[in-house]
Amino acid sequence: MEIWDLINPISRVVFYFTAFGTAGTTLFILHFRKHAHPELLYHCKNLIHKSALGGILISLILFLSVAGNIGGDLASIFEYPMLQIAFFSKAGVAAITSLLGFTIIFIAGNWRSKWRTGVSITGSCIIFLSFVIVGHSYREGLLTQFLLLVHLIGIAYWLGSLLPLSKLCRIPDIGNLPLIAHGFGIFAIGYVSALVFAGCIFAYKIMGGVTPLIDTTYGNTLLIKIIVVTLLLSIAALNKFLMVPLLSQNLYRGARRLRFFVNLEMVLASLALLLTSLLTTSLDLPLGYNQ
């Protein structure tokens, strides 16, 4: 096994964490800034700043990995001809695009301006763009690119809100927790419905049917991811319809239970992102199914 067979999926899953950590937390602040406790806002801004810094580093690694994959060994990342080829490749352009987005968000994090959130949203859009200028969605055309963008925005809101919600359950002043948790659930209906709808159509388009889910390694891996996401949706529904109403009956007991299930969502989300990284870096689409 080549070293890049190990580095590529690991770097990709780290990229997902940083992308959704920055863009998702930015969306959380956009929706709930006026209700958020100052300690929660500080936590969110710190999370965005650290995620953006991590995103800058992983984007550089992703760019170097393009050169490494072309050359076939680790030494290729130091060879100018390989770096030059990487610079003009689609994967290289995607890495540079994400680097630009993360850099914009990182710089905006140091501002004390009312434009900071707007600039961070712009950076998030650039990061999302890096997903659709390479890979399966790019090869399949504008419809799949649009579907992937919708899917990504939904994921970013959902997963990017989990850490802030977990933090809110732990801070001493949790008086606004019921309001924010309820609001999160209301917005999540739209975001999650869109991500599931777009994700299903996207998967069908790139695979060309349902049969590959059973007949191929790629399909089997995707099926496992679907099962994990279904579990995630079940826990999210449990939170919305049982845990959030419990907050109005017993705030602190409800907060402890909500935090447990939010943390469980994060574990399952991490597994889903790991499976996604394998699908995008280590497994090929079934031959003949997506033609």
Between the two ends of the chain, the Cα-to-Cα distance in Å is 29
Cα distance between residue 241 and residue 229, in whole Å: 18
Distance CA 127, CA 23 (A): 8
User: Which pLDDT score is estimated for 246?
Assistant: 92
CA pair distance 255, 155, nearest whole angstrom: 23
pLDDT of the residue at 62: 94
State residue 290's pLDDT score: 41
Residue 291 falls within a domain, yes or no?
no
Tell me if 79 is assigned to some domain.
yes
Distance CA 280, CA 67 (A): 18
> What is the model's pTM?
0.91
Contact between 246 and 254 under an 8 Å Cβ cutoff? The reply is yes
In a domain, 229, yes or no: yes
Q: Which of these, 135, 110, 132, 131, lies nearest to 120 by C-alpha position?
A: 110
pLDDT of residue 288: 46
**286 lies in some domain:** no
In a domain, 74, yes or no: yes
In angstroms, the CA 40 to CA 271 distance is 26
Of 101, 78, 90, 85, the C-alpha closest to 15 is: 101
pLDDT of residue 4: 77
User: What is the domain count for the chain?
Assistant: 1
pLDDT at 24: 95
In a domain, 46, yes or no: yes
User: Can you give the pLDDT at residue 14?
Assistant: 96
Q: Give the domain range for residue 11.
A: 3-281
pLDDT score for 1 = 45
Residue 288 lies in a domain: no
pLDDT recorded at residue 142? 85
Burial pattern 230-252, b for ≥16 Cβ within 10 A else e, equals eebeebbebbbeebbebbeeeee
- Rounded CA separation 226/217 (Å): 14
Nearest 10 degrees: Cα torsion 209, 136, 188, 51: 150
Question: For the chain, which residues score pLDDT lower than 70?
Answer: 1, 138, 287-291
Best CA proximity match to 109, nearest among 223, 15, 228, 25 = 25
Looking at residue 254, its pLDDT comes to: 92
Query: Is residue 155 situated within a structural domain?
Result: yes
Q: What is the pLDDT of residue 287?
A: 55
Report which DSSP code applies to 284. P
